[in-house]
A and B are shown apart, each in its own frame.
Chain A
Amino acid sequence: MIICTNKMEYPLRSQCQRVQKQVMVNSEKERMSLLFMKALVSRGSVDAVSQQMASHPQYLESFLRTQHYILHMDGPLPLPYRHYIAIMAAARHHCNYLVYLHSAQFLRVGGDPLWLQGLEAAPSRLRLLDHINKVLAHQPWLTACSHIQTLLKSGEQCWSLAELVQAVVILAHCHALCSFVFGCDTDSNCVPLSKSPNGTPPTFCPFDAANGNTNVPQSLATPSEHITRRRSLDSSRDVVCLKERIQKSQEEREKREERLVQTQTLHQTDMEEEEETICFTDPSCFITDPEFCYEEFAHREEDHFQVFRVQDYSWEDHGFSLVNRLYSDIGHLLDDRLRSVTTLPSFHNPDMKRAIWNYIHCVLGIRYDDYDYGEVNQLLERDLKLYIKAVACYPDATKTPVCPLSWAVLKTSERIHVNLLIMEARLQAELLYALRAITQYMIA
């Protein structure tokens, strides 16, 4: 029996051994090791995200299962499309790491390399997704029935409902993942488990199995100066404060860009040896309207955008049924993911988890009738709130500086926990908005 395994040209043994050494140290981490091994063999590398999540194995398991399902398993969209959509989503937040990861996977599943030159080169069907991508990423409350209608409008380039749902799930998943990547990158205590041997900053390496590296991204930014400010009372001033920081970081960013160009050339020479070459493209070529970004929901005109009431459209009652109907089994996987993040044992105060969750939903325009938002201010310190908001709303390494947060109070796993909560809350929020729009479309 002859099996063509062209696509599996990984120098597996060395990687495998390395991972084994790394994670087998502790017998408690047996489960982790197995998960990693699985991830390693299926994707050629244990990505940094999984390594970060390793402190919560139970969650990681369901996260990986979901991710594997939406990107690799049965579904209405062709595999290259899925990765391209992921690229588009990650590009919205300038998340180089995810863009490279999915570019490599895109090529590996037989995607047309031309598409990687930018959105212009992609089929118009994918270009149509750009708008909903933009909206979902930054101001999900703008998602409207009309967007869905445009996409589903019959014609040569139309989407089917099932395809659209999968696309939306991928978009939401990747947007949320950008938050996690961003949140963890800022973590200076994060020690990479392995370093790439060639000395290139790992973030710039495409996470390509052919490299033979298990790379861990380091923050693009060197930790910026710690800015201490007066406590502001309302959240809008938080944003002002954030925006000032963004400006302050502009200079740094320019410096970084210079460096980026250098590493880029470095990188390209590296890549010439590789079989799979990935054109190093700026993520911004996968998006349009780069100026579009998060705006304070509270500042929008009250009656113009109605607050999203969870009691009227909830994941458990409505979202689940719809998404599961149009994209079978995904509902259960996402349900499992949401459940496992809420049952993670961590915080001293169980209310804290709910406060974080509801706060994130609140900044994205989703309200709970049965929650007293005063609790948020009581339970969450201002620094933490600022951090949550930055990670949830501006997870953009090229724009936002590393957010100062006195992490001293929290253990590593708890920091990751906060990031996981942010990711899941964001995921759910985007899904709720998108699915509600789809429901409205179906009723109309």
Chain B
Amino acid sequence: MEKMSRVTTALGSNAISGRTMFCHLDAPANAISVCRDAMQVVVAGRNIFKIYALEEEQFVEKLNLRVGRKPSLNFSCADVMWHQMEESLLATAATNGAVVTWNLGKPSRNKQDQLFTEHKRTVNKVCFHPTEVYMLLSGSQDGFMKCFDLRKKESVSTFSGQSESVRDVQFSMKDYFTFAASFENGNVQLWDIRRPDRYERMFTAHTGPVFCCDWHPDDRGWLATGGRDKMVKVWDMTTNRAKEIYCVQTIASVARVKWRPERKFHLATCSMMVDHNIYVWDIRRPFIPFATFEEHKDVTTGIVWRHQHDPHFLLSGSKDSTLYQHMFKDATRPVDKANPEGLCFGLFGDLAFAAKESLISSDANRKPYPGGDRRYPIFFFKKPDPTEQFAHVSSALSVFETDLDSNRMDWFVKTAQLYLLSGKPFAELCDHNAKVARELKRPQVSTTWTMLRIMFSDPANLTAPGPNPILSKLGTLPLMNSFSMKEIGSGIGTESRLERSKGESRQDNIHLESGNLHLTNNNEENEETEGSEGQAEYMFGDAELDDDDLYSMEHDNQTEEQEYILPQEAFQLRHEIMDNPSAPEHLQQDKADSPHVSGNEAEVTCLTPIESFSLISISQPLFSPHLPASFFCPIVREMLSYYAEQGDVQMAVSVLIVLGDRIRKEIDDLTQEHWYMSYIDLLQRFELWNVSNEVIKLSTCSAITCLNQASTTLHINCSNCKRPMSNKGWICDRCHQCASVCAVCHHVVKGLFVWCQGCSHGGHLEHIMNWLKSSTHCPAGCGHLCEYT
């Protein structure tokens, strides 16, 4: 029998042909099935039941099986199957629980043949035996599977899955007596058709419903299942225990799965919800679909390969009321759009980089990695037909080791800890931070801080000696010779900075390019872009000591006046915002205010004659004193972006916080948020929790400030039984005692509660403070030597 069917169905000389085409249906389809000769397809749904002929150029409606004025629910199909042996025989599963067979050979308009109403709930699936003409299997929501002999009026056997609704039933292609059933609770069962009393085998395939299963057409033991958990799994059933051999993770629940004919590792899937595409997967490459059909506008409900020996034609029906024939050659190949490069940092700062070999080998300068063969090329199988395989991609993996010492991030940690971001007048903050940077041998950063102070402070305080050394130094530098000295005051500093940063970024571009060219041996350069300390001093290097000495002299007399002119208003306002982040009005107001502040500054600037430049401006004409702080904003913004791009996001964020309103509105919120996130991430990697929290607190982005509102869970021990309190709240699971009782006064603590992490006892803050002043032991009498810090 089987052999015969093989002969009749094998692709003969009259190979099928066609093109990608579609037709509109009157109603959404629930399922489709194809006739053995691959020339007709039946579409079934709640309001549709039609047969279409597949012609070269189009679908042609052949027959409407939905007859009668007001068709009964028996016509509302959840599933349909065309018999693969008998061309005139169809079966449908009705949503009302009926199993109906249809005989196309009937002379009357109504082709309904048999009606079985044995199921109590919706029938989800019907399946003809692949080789036996009269055997039909059904699976229903009521949890039963029934086997019908079409020569009889009722079912011949009933199988009880004992595990909720049946979602799919499939006869094995190879084992005459075996069928598989998948269930809503995640189980898959194997049954012997002769033994209705008990399943042969059961295993849990998915979490949540298993919507579909499909036997491999050639490989006896392979069963593919798809579930609501968005996975397709391939099981090897030949072993004692069903073994998962492949798993494909899709992006939505899997409604149907169908093995592709003649391609051992290919299967097609479509989704129940949200995702409308049909995917063809190579199960050995589970991360990217082999091919995608994107024609449907609503979920695809039925997929079927047109001919069981032709892998190039796929038919699909959809809720969008269309029926498609997809040609495989017209499929989208996601792999073409995929980005085949990967980059990852190792635990110790090693950098691994994988890219298409073509990209890397085209580079003539590529040198072998000195530390042995560090390339791990991955080659994929070669194949005769390029359209039938994944594109030939071979990647080269390069690993860049880093010298541990050059990669020290000590400076980062120290800087993070020592920087002051708030709580003092602006100028003091800048000076402090400049000093920190200088002590860590980061002169560029240090100078930046100093310049920021100059730019945004009251110019009146920039008394004579201040900028001069810088300027004179700059003047002596060859690079600055071409630089016009017409700029005034503090402006000159920034201009030169800008100039410099441009030069530097150019320099870095070159570094990066050369990095690409010499991927294997440029660790040093790569690392330096991280820290920016290596190349920092080429301009200001020798100048730094002098000018900072000079600045430090003026610190004392400067502060008071600065406080007066530039009050901490900015910071206070910011605190308000932080405390009440849900009130955007404050923010608005705040923003509106800040230009005003700078306006004031500007006026002050105008009034103040700047004597300081007399030294260098001998040959210069008088310069205009109009230089509001906002004048520098674009420059500062550029500087911040420069630092951020250099990888020193720490600097960017610190400056952002210290400058506060002066600069905040200049930089778009998304960038700010991005910087904050990166810096906070870095801080947390270095376990600088306090600093990271301070940064979160000081930030003005609402997306950031809400970070320390999340995961505020605190794990505590019960003070009674000293076990961890798994519970929310203050009642212990085990001893049912309240854990928040003050050890001193034995009352429940309201408000501030302090406790010892050693013995879990605690109480009112002031009680414990007082107690521990006079005693070192725990007030609860447990003998623990508590420590109050």
Contacts and interface: CB of A to CB of B under 8 A. Distances in A.
B141 A8 contact: no
B95 A370 contact: yes
Given A2-B765, A16-B731, A369-B122, A74 B253 contact: no
B76 A311 contact: yes
B700 interface: no
Interface in A1-33: 1-6, 8-13, 16, 20
Given A5-B753, A38-B729, A316 B253 contact: no
Nearest to A34: B733
Nearest to B746: A13
Nearest to A112: B582
A296 interface: no
A309 B421 CA distance: 61
B727 A439 contact: no
Contact of B738 (A16, A74, A369): A16
Given A321-B253, A370-B121, A439 B729 contact: no
Contacts of B208: 320, 335
A78 B582 contact: yes
Contacts of A1: 754-755, 757
Contact of B273 (A12, A34, A112, A439): A439
B272 to A, nearest CB: 5
| Pairs A-B, 7 closest by C-beta atoms | A41-B729, A369-B95, A321-B273, A311-B95, A9-B750, A41-B731, A42-B728
Given A318-B273, A443-B298, A5 B751 contact: yes
Contacts of A16: 731, 736, 738
Contacts of B727: 37-38, 41-42
Contacts of A41: 727-731
Given A8-B740, A16-B738, A369-B76, A2 B752 contact: yes
A316 B209 contact: yes
Nearest to B727: A38
Contacts of A5: 740, 749-753
A388 B141 CA distance: 26
A74 B707 CA distance: 12
Contacts of A320: 208, 228
B209 A311 contact: no
A312 interface: yes
B97 A370 contact: yes
Given A5-B749, A8-B740, A40-B729, 12 more contacts: A5-B740, A9-B750, A12-B731, A12-B738, A38-B727, A316-B228, A318-B273, A321-B252, A321-B274, A369-B96, A370-B95, A439-B273
Contacts, number: 120
A329 interface: no
Contacts of A20: 736
A116 B390 CA distance: 61
Nearest to B230: A321
Nearest to B207: A332
Contacts of A370: 95-97, 119-122, 141
B752 A12 contact: no
Q: By CB atoms of chain A within 10 A, which of B273, B298, B752 has the most?
A: B273
B401 to A, nearest CB: 39
B228 A321 contact: yes
Interface string B205-229: 0001101000000000000000010
A442 interface: yes
Nearest to A37: B731
A317 interface: yes
Contacts of A38: 727-729, 731
Interface in B335-356: none
A309 B78 CA distance: 12
Contacts of A12: 730-731, 738, 740, 748
A19 to B, nearest CB: 9
Interface string B572-600: 00000000001000000000000000000
Contacts of A325: 252, 273-274
B73 interface: yes
Contacts of B76: 311, 369
B753 A11 contact: no
B101 to A, nearest CB: 19
Range of interface residues on chain B?
35 or more
18 contacts: A2-B754, A5-B750, A5-B751, A8-B750, A11-B748, A12-B748, A20-B736, A38-B727, A41-B731, A42-B729, A311-B46, A317-B211, A317-B228, A322-B274, A325-B273, A335-B208, A369-B73, A369-B97
A13 B720 CA distance: 14
Interface residues of A, number: 41
Interface string A301-331: 0000000010110001110111001000000
A435 to B, nearest CB: 10
Nearest to B757: A1
Contacts of B96: 369-370
Contact of A309 (B46, B228, B730): B46
B414 interface: no
A112 B582 CA distance: 9
A369 B211 CA distance: 20
A38 B752 CA distance: 22
Interface in B728-745: 728-731, 733, 736, 738, 740-741
Interface in A108-158: 110, 112
Interface of A: 1-6, 8-13, 16, 20, 34, 37-38, 40-42, 74, 78, 80, 110, 112, 309, 311-312, 316-318, 320-322, 325, 335, 369-370, 439, 442-443
A8 B730 contact: yes
A37 B736 CA distance: 8
Nearest to B299: A443
B404 interface: no
A321 B710 CA distance: 26
B272 A317 contact: yes
A13 B736 contact: no
B714 interface: yes
B184 interface: yes
Interface string B63-106: 00000000001001010000000000000001111000000000
A222 B754 CA distance: 49
B263 interface: no
Given A2-B752, A16-B738, A42-B728, A442 B274 contact: yes
B285 to A, nearest CB: 25
B196 to A, nearest CB: 23
Nearest to A10: B748
Contacts of B755: 1, 3
A285 B120 CA distance: 48
B320 to A, nearest CB: 8
Given A317-B272, A370-B95, A13 B73 contact: no
Interface string B647-663: 00000000000000000
B297 interface: yes
A80 B757 CA distance: 32
B754 A3 contact: yes
Nearest to B78: A311
Nearest to B298: A443
A37 B273 CA distance: 40
Nearest to A319: B273
B753 A3 contact: yes
A322 B273 contact: yes
A444 to B, nearest CB: 9
A166 to B, nearest CB: 15
Contacts of B122: 311, 369-370
A9 B95 contact: no
B748 A13 contact: yes
A24 to B, nearest CB: 8
Nearest to A78: B582
A312 B740 contact: no
Contact of A74 (B95, B274, B710, B754): B710
B49 to A, nearest CB: 15
A252 to B, nearest CB: 41
A117 B111 CA distance: 67
Contact of B751 (A9, A321, A369): A9
